[in-house]
Amino acid sequence: MTFNDVVKLTDDLPRVERGTSWGAPAPKVDGKMFTCVPTHRSAESNSLAVRIDFADRDDLIANDPDMFYLEDHYVDYAVVLVRLNTIHRDALRDLLHRSWRFMSAKRKRIHRPKTRVSGPSRSARRSRA
């Protein structure tokens, strides 16, 4: 599989436009990237970055670590890295459609929530004063 195959698999999805993300080609839905060629040097060559829910990402990696992986740079983003030379065309199409649905939804979490620093909240501190 190549990125050209990826683009062909996204052509039938509604509201998809071709664009770029961090200088790399990236199909987008409603202006939001849902897949792209990963540009960070930690990603393996011939990989694809696919936006997906955190729980789904964790399941994909746990069930098939030879196909799906993650590098430290991507941990806080709702994205999974895919080794294009290991994924079947039908599985890739299904994953891209899942990503399209995730990114076209009105509410989604695309970044991990920041962990709260321990200690009283600002409002609790004010109420003590």
Q: How many C-beta atoms lie closer than 10 Å to residue 65's C-beta?
A: 11
Cβ atoms of residues 91 and 84 within 8 Å: no
3-state secondary structure of 49: strand
pTM of the entire structure? 0.80
111 pLDDT tier (thresholds 50, 70, 90): low
pLDDT in tens, 26-65: 999 999 999 999 999 999 999 999 999 999 999 999 999 9
Domains of the chain, earliest start first: 3-113 (3.90.1150.30)
- pLDDT computed for residue 65 by the predictor: 97
Cβ atoms of residues 87 and 67 within 8 Å: yes
Beta bridge partners of 6: none
pLDDT in tens, 68-97: 999 999 999 999 999 999 999 999 999 999
